[in-house]
Amino acid sequence: MEDLTTIEQLLEQIKAQKPLIHHITNSVTINDCANITLAIGASPVMADEVEEAAEMTTHAQALVINIGTLSTRTIPAMIASGEKANQKGIPVIFDPVGVGATPFRMRVAKELLETLHFSVLRGNMSEIKALAGLETHAKGVDAGDDMDDAVSIAKQLAKRYDCIVAVTGKEDIVSDGIKVATIKAGHPLLAQVSGTGCMSNSLIASFAAVTSDSFSATIAGLYAMGRSGEIAFNNLREFEGAGTFHIRLLDAISLLSSNTLLEGGRIYVHS
Amino acid sequence: MEDLTTIEQLLEQIKAQKPLIHHITNSVTINDCANITLAIGASPVMADEVEEAAEMTTHAQALVINIGTLSTRTIPAMIASGEKANQKGIPVIFDPVGVGATPFRMRVAKELLETLHFSVLRGNMSEIKALAGLETHAKGVDAGDDMDDAVSIAKQLAKRYDCIVAVTGKEDIVSDGIKVATIKAGHPLLAQVSGTGCMSNSLIASFAAVTSDSFSATIAGLYAMGRSGEIAFNNLREFEGAGTFHIRLLDAISLLSSNTLLEGGRIYVHS
Amino acid sequence: MEDLTTIEQLLEQIKAQKPLIHHITNSVTINDCANITLAIGASPVMADEVEEAAEMTTHAQALVINIGTLSTRTIPAMIASGEKANQKGIPVIFDPVGVGATPFRMRVAKELLETLHFSVLRGNMSEIKALAGLETHAKGVDAGDDMDDAVSIAKQLAKRYDCIVAVTGKEDIVSDGIKVATIKAGHPLLAQVSGTGCMSNSLIASFAAVTSDSFSATIAGLYAMGRSGEIAFNNLREFEGAGTFHIRLLDAISLLSSNTLLEGGRIYVHS
């Protein structure tokens, strides 16, 4: 994965296989998640009613669970779909949005982590620290935190939950508990668009749907998002700000190819 | 309807009358539905709480029911609003999103079709086949299927439910059970934007709100969407992909006029 | 506030303090509310589950309550968060979307107004008239009404509920019960985008989070939206319509500065 060939190959597989990505996600960014899934070449379905959630998962090649606008109504659907995904052996991506902000989110996130097996756990530093039981000065869901301890916390949580852990921020850290990848890509404007984290989940799920290597899939998804942020910024005119950047991000994902990916060398894998 | 004069006239009536279109729809594309309704010149209202749904329908000139993110919470609102619309004699458009994907969706769709009278039933080939009781290889809500049997199935369902049936895809088929219209318009990028089907419902409803001829209204709505897809594509620059196309689609609808519609001759009505 | 210095200073404070704005809002425009909050420099959080709503409010510097897609599920969360906000002394902005359209909305709006103390009540003329108990010919949520009585009704409601009342339309009226401000800014295309009212709430809340002067905060939020509508229109090309205007609006907010604000002189404060 030091070079970008793996990402290109996985991208081709997504476009060839059009995997179905089942999302149980928040109402804020649900449209962006659907559109970015289509843009990368996969197929989205959103269904959060417990009466059908597990059934819908039977058709899917990956599942995303996101607690951004968590409601008691959808928790049973998350559990049912997650269990079905685990039975089928398809990857499940978990985004513990704002987990440090309320005891309710922490309780539900812990319940999900103990009941289900996730392939990938992705959050910002505050969320990952909160899950690790560390102090954090989170305020809501877009809060930052320094990335100093990111590597050790990511490794620790990856071992505890037997999954890939991704800590996203200015730089992204990905670990399987032993190996660690650092991804240096992106643009500060990504933090001015709501849902870039949620959209990253959809990308990771799309990549994870076509490979059993969740570590590479996570790197691929995060690199695709970061690189697209750079492309999006490069195409802005002077009167274009956060609104256009958001749209250009979807443009860049939909036009992602070996040409546009080829600015690489910024993924570092070590142990 | 072989020429485009009818569509132009209906479009002027929408802009003059600004009909209120009540939507009970999914959370994925609800914003796009509101915005495309405004773009065509009508007025959207979204209300899915049973405590007020029927009351809201009393103000409306058309109703859209869409089961894209179906929940047990909103089914009673769909029934109550649908019954009110039937009493008032305003058109009801039904989109059985993903109906083949789960028994829950099929059960609810059948219940709605047996309880309410719809003016227009619009779906993709997989959805329409599933409703007709035919085998389908649907996977989720964006799945394709060949359009070979579209005409006969559309006719059959139109007779069974006494409504206009529209099967949308590369080409759109519209039937009232006897007449059939084929609409050749659109662009492949429409399949890369989530909710173009949902948005078509809003357009059909806006046209149906100003004429008692639901067959023409359905053709008008689908042609407006397809033609706008062409215009949207024509205005893209090389670095603009699915994100910008989505926005240009709304642009084209909001600027629709006799000038931009005048690329016609691609609506064929036969029996 | 006759000049624009106050707005510029408040804008700088938002960017410096990044206040957290808790929204309990509708599902139609929730994404736009999150993005415009980020665009102005504040931080959004959306949480409408009663299990955590009040807890989330403890982290916030302002709260927005919007009944656009009101459901019985979220009313207890509105009450709990509103009471917490009142205890903490942070501003609460209330948008009684479509209040005249159904008895359910009127009953809940009245309950909220009697239970909670709002800093700002913002609606269109139909909504404000309905709350004042006057006849209105509202049809749904985007309906217009003449603004003739706006000033006296705004004053009356402001006294009754001890809050700032804003009546938005072609011109915006803001009153604290004694003083009245008229804001002449904006563009007709703002009425062709769903959620410009909702987005205004987010802007007002962002300004109100950094000053105890809710009157100035309301003027600042509405002027920022109106001025951005003008900028958004000025940057449109001939084939760009409502879709692009919507995006340019977010662009203009994210690029708002003393330079772009400096077209002033159109805020008139009198008594």
- A74-96 per-position pLDDT tens digit: 999 999 999 999 999 999 999 99
Q: How far is CA B143 from CA A45, A231, C263, in A?
A: 10, 30, 51
State how far the alpha carbon of B88 is from the alpha carbons of B60, B75, B85, in Å.
10, 20, 5
Q: What is the mean pLDDT of residues B86-90?
A: 98
Separation between Cα atoms, residue A249 and residue A263, nearest integer Å = 16
| Residue B146: predicted pLDDT | 57
Does ipTM surpass 0.85 in this model? yes
pLDDT band at A140 (very low <50, low <70, confident <90, very high): very low
Question: With contacts defined as CB-CB under 8 Å, which chain C residues touch B73?
Answer: 71, 73
Regions of chain C short of the pLDDT cut 50: 138, 140-145
Of A70, A102, A240, Cβ closest to residue C251: A240
pLDDT band at A144 (very low <50, low <70, confident <90, very high): very low
Of C22, C45, C55, the CB nearest to A104: C55
Report the alpha-carbon distance of residue A242 to residue B247 in Å, rounded.
Answer: 15
Report the residue count for chain A. Answer: 271
Task: Output the pLDDT for position C141.
Answer: 47
Q: Is C266 marked as a binding-site residue? A: no
Tell me if B242 and A251 make a contact (CB, 8 A cut-off).
yes
C20-24/B172-175 β-pairing: unpaired
Q: Measure the CA–CA gap between C211 and C19, rounded to whole angstroms.
A: 11
The answer to whether B115 and B76 have CB atoms below 8 angstroms apart is: no
Q: Which residues of B49-88 are buried (b: 16+ CB within 10 A; e: fewer)?
A: bbbbbbbbbebbbbbbbbbbbbbeebbebbbbbbbbbbee
Q: Average pLDDT for residues B226-235, to the nearest whole number?
A: 96
- Across C210-221, b (16+ Cβ under 10 Å) vs e yields bbebbbbbbbbb
- The pLDDT tens digits of the residues spanning A187-224 come to 999 999 999 999 999 999 999 999 999 999 999 999 99
Q: Are B131 and B109 in contact (CB under 8 A)?
A: yes
Q: Is C195 annotated as a binding residue?
A: yes
Q: Do C231 and A239 touch (CB under 8 A)?
A: yes
Q: How far apart are CA A161 and CA A27, in angstroms?
A: 27
Q: What is the pLDDT of residue A261?
A: 83
Edge to edge, what strands does the sheet with A172-175 contain? A43-46, A20-24, A62-66, A92-95, A120-124, A164-168, A172-175, A180-183, A267-270
pLDDT in the model for residue A1: 52
Q: Which chains touch C (3 or more CB pairs under 8 A)?
A: A, B
- Specify the pTM: 0.95
**How large a percentage of chain A has pLDDT more than 70?**
93
- Nearest CB among B29, B70, B243 relative to A254 is that of B243
> DSSP label at B90?
-
Among candidates B48, B60, B248 on the partner chain, residue whose Cβ is nearest the Cβ of C243: B248
CB contact under 8 A, B34 and C194: yes
| Res C140: pLDDT | 46
pLDDT for residue B148 is more than 80: no
Q: Can you give the residue ranges of every domain in chain A?
A: 5-270
- Using an 8 Å CB-CB cutoff, list chain C residues near B49: 69-72, 104
Cβ of C142 and B231 within 8 Å?
A: no
Annotated binding site of B: 46, 122, 168, 195
| pLDDT at residue number A191 | 96
Specify the CATH architecture of the domain A5-270.
3-Layer(aba) Sandwich (3.40)
Is the pLDDT assigned to residue B99 strictly greater than 70? yes
Predicted pLDDT of residue A141: 47
State pLDDT tens for residues B102-119. Answer: 999 999 999 999 999 999
* Cβ pair B165, B154 in contact under 8 A: yes
> CA distances (Å), C150 to each of C40, C156, C173, in order?
28, 10, 7
pLDDT at B141 over 50: no
Which of the pair, A269 or C164, is modelled with greater confidence?
A: C164
CA–CA separation, C29 vs C67, rounded Å? Answer: 12
8 Å CB contact between C85 and C57: yes
Question: Which residues in chain B are contacts of A30 at CB distance < 8 A?
Answer: 27-28
pLDDT at A2: 53
Mean pLDDT of chain B: 93
* Cβ distance of B142 and A73 shorter than 8 Å: no
Give the pLDDT band of residue B143 (cuts 50, 70, 90).
Answer: very low
Percentage of chain C with pLDDT > 70? 93
Encoded amino acid at C59, one letter: H
Out of B72, B103, B243, closest to residue A251 by CB? B243
Contact A103 C43 (CB under 8 A): no
pLDDT class of A143 with cuts at 50, 70, 90 = very low
Q: pLDDT (tens digit, 9 = 90+) per residue, B127-140?
A: 999 999 986 554 54
Interface test with C, best of B25, B28, B31, B32 (most C CBs within 10 A): B31
Of the candidates A44, A49, A247, the beta carbon closest to that of B243 is on: A247
Q: Which helix (H) or strand (E) segment is C256 a member of? A: none
pLDDT score, position B258: 83
Residues 6+ away with beta carbon under 8 Å from C146: C125
The pLDDT value given to residue B259:
83
Dihedral, CA of residue C57, residue C58, residue C63 and residue C68, to nearest 10: 10
pLDDT tens digits for range B256-266: 998 888 765 68
User: CB contacts < 8 Å between A and B, how many?
Assistant: 112
User: Is there a contact between A60 and B246 if contact means CB atoms under 8 Å apart?
Assistant: no
In this prediction, residue A174 carries a pLDDT of 97
Between chains, do C242 and B44 touch, taking CB under 8 Å as contact? Answer: no
Cβ distance B44 to C71 less than 8 Å, yes or no, reads no
Query: What are the φ/ψ torsions at residue A256 (nearest 5 degrees)?
Result: -60, 135
Q: Chain A residue with minimal CA distance to C256? A: A241
Q: Per the annotation, where are the binding residues of A?
A: 46, 122, 168, 195
Question: Which of C20, C28, C36, C52 is the best substitution to test chain A (most A C-beta atoms within 10 A)?
Answer: C52
Residues B155-214 pLDDT 10s: 999 999 999 999 999 999 999 999 999 999 999 999 999 999 999 999 999 999 999 999
Residue B248: closest CA among chain C residues belongs to which residue? C243
Q: What is the mean pLDDT of residues A110-118?
A: 98
CA torsion C38-C43-C48-C50 (nearest 10°) is: 180
Chain A positions touching C20 (Cβ under 8 A) are 139-140
Q: Residue B83: CB partners within 8 Å, gap ≥ 6?
A: B54, B115, B116
